[in-house]
Structure 1
Amino acid sequence: MSSHNLDLSGSKKRKRGERVFRFKTFAENGYPVGFVASSFRENVKALLEYGHLESTLGHSCTGMQSWSFQLQLHRNAPLHLVLYVVEEPIEASLNRHCKQCQYVGWGQHMVCNKKYHFVLPSTDTMAAAACLINCKAVGGNNNHDASGMNIPAPGKSSSSSLNLVELEGHIMHGVFHSNGFGHLLCVNGAETGSDLPGHQILEFWDRLCTGLRARKVSLNDVSHKRGMELRLIHGVAYSEPWFGRWGYKFGRGTFCVTQQMYQNAIEALQGMPLCLLVHHLAALTCNQLGHDISLIFSRYHTLSDHSLVTLGDLFHFMLELKSRLPTDDQNSCIDSYNPGMLVETSCRWSPKRVEMASRVIVEALKRAQFRWVSRQEVRDAARAYIGDTGLLDFVLKSLGNQIVGNYLVRRSLNPVTKVLEYCLEDLSNVSPNQDGNLGMTNSKVKGWYKISRFQLMKDVFYLYKYILKDPKLSTCTTTTTGIFSAISMAVRIILDSKYLVKEYCGEVPPLKLELGPEGKSNLYCTVMLRNSTQVLDHYKMTDNDNAIELPPYECLTLKNNATINDLKLEVERNFREIYWGLSSFVVEAIANLSRVDAKGTDMVFGLVEVGGKIVLQGSNKDMRGGGHGIVRELEGPIFECGSGNYVVDCPCGAKDEDGERMVCCDICEVWQHTLCVRIPNNEQVPHIFLCNRCEREIILLPSP
């Protein structure tokens, strides 16, 4: 019997690193390990005890270690995935400073000693890694494999070529700093050939973050589906990006887009009245485009059992409808045809009376010559034939966007008067059959009452392209209205809001308390680094102590009879272990302790409440010379943003790097976004570039 068909997660005869885990429950608390509530680093160490220590990924030459976990996708299926966890110490890192931290706005964080990469490799990335390792083992200089990949010579390998974490195209790749802050770097679902859909990958990642007690996790939302940006489509339909289903929210916008700007843009697009769009589309000189979009509006009015008033209503209905359609056959349809009225079994009027009232209302609308008529006008006209006002109100409520005979009854909310209006759409150009009803096999009629998944996605893409994305739409109008320019501006703001963040534990994890002198309790501690020129260069100091508080707080578990000296030693050990810039940190004082005369032998919990926040001051000191030591500065910037010896001052207001392409002025050496200085993304940056300010100053110079 193949071991792939066995559930070995509970076997105690196998070694920990040889177990097979269920993918759908991996990283839940207790599977495979009971996670500790207070410490990300402890949880990672506990998890890795259950992994298989790898020696074949090429990390030995880079100073990295890696572990693997076999994950079974389905209980009775042989298909497995492998999760790799790669520990990247700062000594082995080619990029000491984290660009993801910089882009999302965490550049003020200190550089951590370690990163932990969690990778679900695809078939292609595993093949590439294996090929590179095999080629290194064989040897050769500047060889190329069959795919054209450059193979380094022995002894000249680098983590960028032999390190699994440097390859692109993984199913999933996330990274955590040792302080619990992390980044989801990539997700590649079924559309890219993965065995897993995107939502299952995100559920897996979310379990990992929750179980490990991550603090905050960011991602760069550039997700696409069928050529459409999901953050735009889902923003209009659901008021949040696709990742919002897992709690990711606006973190930081590029080009100085703020959260309020993002929210206003979402609301503007969602609230765009469809009748207003139809009105302006009717004025398009490219009549076919306006006709096609109006046809799509009408099609989904017909399918919906409630009124679609705004663009947000339409996109929400279309995406919800997509989830109800079968995926196996693009010709499979959902049928919403109604030969008259849908009458609920609990309705107090007979089907015959309901049908008669609907016919009367249609005749009243026919007399209006296919113009929009208010609900009250229709009701008054029908009262001459139907005395039961309750029946009329019921039919008017249920009749909107239904087919009655040869007519489609359309219903919409007037954006100006806020009154419901009705009109008829004539379908009589479709030949009736022998029974006098609309031909049910005619393809023109099917568009009104049937929809396939293929057709729906085609319609979504059409609206996406010509309403949300196509800048040429505004040039088709015969009058200047500004509606399409407003849409274009709102779309740009949403697309520039791509850095998302989810807060898992924040700064203060759950409190732990054990009673008695031998019990343990939690404190939350952070440090202030004194006498550091790097800190002074990085921050504008507002006090005379030359110190700065370094977030986040760390949760420390101490015995209830621990002393101040014990606290200092524990703080030094933890912060040295986490941060590269605090490798020789020595605590000198407690900044916010109420008793200034506290001694090292005093008990901590006699001076500080359990669960309280403590700020400790200290310096990096070289103790090799004995005595009190001397202050020591590390070589290289200790903050994630790097040295900061460049200046960003863009016309959009940006003052630091946000991941967008930039250009540097050759005179003042100030960096600006290429788009903000009118260099399109599809054009190369010129060899010589002068910003507007330097250009003006040169023009004003007196001629020789």
Structure 2
Amino acid sequence: MKKTLAGAFRDNVRVFLQNFAEIEEYTVGEMTVWSTLLFSQDEGVFPLYTVEETAESSPDPFCNHCEAAGWGHHFVCQRKYHFIIPEKENWNLPLDEIDETHCHYLYGLIHCNGYGHLIRVNGLKNNSNFFSADDTMEFWDRLCTVLKSRYISARHVSRKEAIELSLIHGAAYGKSWFEKWGYKFSGGSPGITEQKYGETIQSLGSLNLDSIVADLKNRSRNMKRIKEMIDVYRKFSGKPLFTITDLLRLMLVFESRVQKDVSNACKYGGSETGESSPMGFEKFVDSMTKDCRWPSRRLENVLYVIVGLLKEHRAKNGESGNAISRQELRDGARKSIGDTGLIDYVLKSIKCFTIDNLIIRRAINPYSKLAEFNIRDQEASNGATSVRLRLGLSLSRDIRFLYENVLSEYIESHFFLTNNYHFVKEWTIKREITKNNKMELTCKVLPSFDEMETELTRRLPPGEMVVVDPWITIGELRVAAQWALRDTYCVMDEFEVTQIGGLRRIEDEKVVYGTVGPGSEVWVRGRGFDFSTVIRYEDEGRK
């Protein structure tokens, strides 16, 4: 699913579940669970769970995340959806409970009005067995876009890994890690403004490396290593490094290149073999002999034939076309080896091994979903890594050391950086007719003066998004708005929209397009608020 769905979030999530998910045979706390199987070239198939929680049956229909994000005045939604990618060891197990403290790879929550919260992103370290944090955020951002979310808050919680990631990225690039995906600073500790946060992050990045050495000379027991590290990376860079920003950018960029080279050199899951690098030839043969009836010499013979076929294929097709399908490789091997069972066993066993300074690997083609084999020169496949090893650099360890022994020394004077604060991303409503010939509008209820004086004394919640054909009448828009409001909010379960327009009614016979523009906020009036329900505001009405 690549295209953004056409409706509002409350409708799009239903389309998504109906067409791209299957209902599980179990429930979690009496909540329905859907699973969507996703594919990663590195890890194969993994689940995305979607859990629908209804306010009517929920033990806690309110939302503390809305309250923290400043949305406590929103009406409680009829439904909210939990999106979860569990840790890898739980991929084949049922989802046992909805628990925000679990170390899921991804945990997001979106209310049916399109407002939601990114609660947890794991894989924060680049040696994760699955997604890096960037991979997870790319997926989450795409999911929110496809389903047409309206606002998503991301809370910088006081969790060690999240703080490290955010501040390291902030010092390197002058902005929060969340800002890479369009999130903007929304608020935090009292008195902390977006300007103050930005200025502090900028000041961290502008720290002069030579000044750091002088400042920490008598304050840090690791001063010798700090100076040596700066000198090594300056030598490696080949260009001047003046500030902590210069140093961190070099380290982060080079680390991503090393990760990519290692991944391209050998794309198989470390969890299958317990290794994170290609297996040596003899060790690979030994591992196969433990579980088969063939002697090692026959296994070696098949491997030599396979390597020969791969070399021949590369010579004909070049580096860019050196992948060969399993079936083609099997057919070629049968010309020299009569035992097809032996051939199949060896092909199945190959993941990634080295022979004569070559790397042989098996991977799944992301388009055909079929196994392919290729051959690469070991030095070419691992170029950035070999440079790192020659210089004695350990990037992940050095970045962490720099954070713990340099940045933390200066962060102490800016304690608010380790406190809770929020970033929010908005998906704007289109102010033009969409490609599907639809108009996106927000319908905002204007209560009566008596209602605002007695029952609805707080700031009015945001309008509800409706997507309609441009040529419908105002009367038909009134019906669409009524259905949307009833379907979305508990307090409006039986609400009747009596007019479009605030103080001045717009006649029902008029055509929407030309009367209101695409992307407009339209006031609606009506009757039927359920003031008897206790499920009114997301913050339980505490403010």
The TM-score bracket by the shorter chain reads 0.5 to 0.7
C-alpha separation in 2, matches of 1:46 and 1:323: 37
C-alpha separation in 2, matches of 1:204 and 1:464: 27
* Corresponding position: 1:525 with 2:443: yes
**Secondary structure of 2:117's aligned partner:** strand
Contact 1:119–1:173, Cα closer than 8 Å, also in 2: yes
TM score, norm. by length of structure 2: 0.67
Partner of 1:499: 422
C-alpha separation in 1, matches of 2:434 and 2:234: 59
Contact 1:589–1:616, Cα closer than 8 Å, also in 2: yes
Cα offset for 1:575? 0.8
With over 3 angstroms needed to count, the CA separation of the structure-2 counterparts of 1:233 and 1:194, relative to structure 1, is: same
Aligned counterparts, 1:532-681, within 5 A: 539=457, 549-558=460-469, 560-562=471-473, 564-592=474-502, 596=504, 599-605=507-513, 607-609=515-517, 611-620=519-528, 632-644=530-542
How many equivalent residue pairs?
420
Q: Which stretches in structure 1 are left out of the alignment for 5+ residues?
A: 1-26, 131-161, 332-446, 471-483, 541-547, 622-631, 646-704
2:32 maps to a residue whose letter is Q
With over 3 angstroms needed to count, the CA separation of the structure-2 counterparts of 1:452 and 1:570, relative to structure 1, is: same
Q: Deviations over 1:130-176 (max 9, x none)?
A: 7xxxxxxxxxxxxxxxxxxxxxxxxxxxxxxx645678232222121
* Corresponding position: 1:307 with 2:240: yes
**Secondary structure of 1:229's aligned partner:** helix
* Corresponding position: 1:28 with 2:12: no
With over 3 angstroms needed to count, the CA separation of the structure-2 counterparts of 1:185 and 1:612, relative to structure 1, is: closer
* Corresponding position: 1:245 with 2:180: yes
2:200 maps to a residue whose letter is A
Contact 2:46–2:91, Cα closer than 8 Å, also in 1: no
Question: Which residue of the other structure, out of 174, 182, 186, is the alignment partner of 2:116?
Answer: 182
With over 3 angstroms needed to count, the CA separation of the structure-2 counterparts of 1:552 and 1:306, relative to structure 1, is: farther
Q: Which has the larger radius of gyration?
A: 1
Aligned counterparts, 1:153-192, within 5 A: 163-164=97-98, 168-189=102-123
2:422 maps to a residue whose letter is Y
**Secondary structure of 2:432's aligned partner:** coil
C-alpha separation in 2, matches of 1:280 and 1:468: 12
C-alpha separation in 1, matches of 2:157 and 2:172: 17
Partner of 1:468: 407
2:233 maps to a residue whose letter is Y
With over 3 angstroms needed to count, the CA separation of the structure-2 counterparts of 1:168 and 1:219, relative to structure 1, is: same
Q: Which stretches in structure 2 are left out of the alignment for 5+ residues?
A: 263-274, 278-386
With over 3 angstroms needed to count, the CA separation of the structure-2 counterparts of 1:321 and 1:513, relative to structure 1, is: closer
Flag the structure with more relative contact order, 1 or 2, with Cα contacts below 8 A and sequence separation at least 6.
Answer: 2
Cα offset for 1:448? 12
Contact 2:152–2:424, Cα closer than 8 Å, also in 1: yes
Partner of 1:362: none
CA RMSD of aligned residues (A): 3.7
Cα offset for 1:71? 2.1
With over 3 angstroms needed to count, the CA separation of the structure-2 counterparts of 1:464 and 1:584, relative to structure 1, is: same
1:617 maps to a residue whose letter is R
C-alpha separation in 2, matches of 1:501 and 1:530: 32
Cα offset for 1:65? 2.4
Contact 2:10–2:114, Cα closer than 8 Å, also in 1: yes
Partner of 1:440: none
With over 3 angstroms needed to count, the CA separation of the structure-2 counterparts of 1:305 and 1:70, relative to structure 1, is: same
Cα offset for 1:203? 2.0
Partner of 2:67: 102
Question: Which residue of the other structure, out of 72, 80, 104, is the alignment partner of 1:115?
Answer: 80
Identity %: 28
Q: Deviations over 1:414-451 (max 9, x none)?
A: xxxxxxxxxxxxxxxxxxxxxxxxxxxxxxxxx99953
* Corresponding position: 1:73 with 2:40: yes
**Secondary structure of 2:534's aligned partner:** coil
With over 3 angstroms needed to count, the CA separation of the structure-2 counterparts of 1:54 and 1:303, relative to structure 1, is: same
Contact 1:534–1:638, Cα closer than 8 Å, also in 2: no
**Secondary structure of 1:269's aligned partner:** helix
Cα offset for 1:67? 2.1
Q: Deviations over 1:450-482 (max 9, x none)?
A: 53342x333333332222225xxxxxxxxxxxx
With over 3 angstroms needed to count, the CA separation of the structure-2 counterparts of 1:238 and 1:224, relative to structure 1, is: farther
Moved more, 605-614 or 206-215: 605-614
Aligned counterparts, 1:106-255, within 5 A: 106-125=71-90, 129=94, 163-164=97-98, 168-189=102-123, 194-222=129-157, 229-255=164-190
**Secondary structure of 2:461's aligned partner:** strand
Cα offset for 1:242? 3.0
Partner of 1:147: none
Q: Name the structure with the higher helix share.
A: 2
Question: Which residue of the other structure, out of 421, 432, 444, is the alignment partner of 1:511?
Answer: 432
Question: Which residue of the other structure, out of 413, 426, 445, is the alignment partner of 1:489?
Answer: 413
C-alpha separation in 1, matches of 2:134 and 2:495: 43
With over 3 angstroms needed to count, the CA separation of the structure-2 counterparts of 1:113 and 1:228, relative to structure 1, is: closer
Aligned counterparts, 1:369-448, within 5 A: none
TM score, norm. by length of structure 1: 0.53
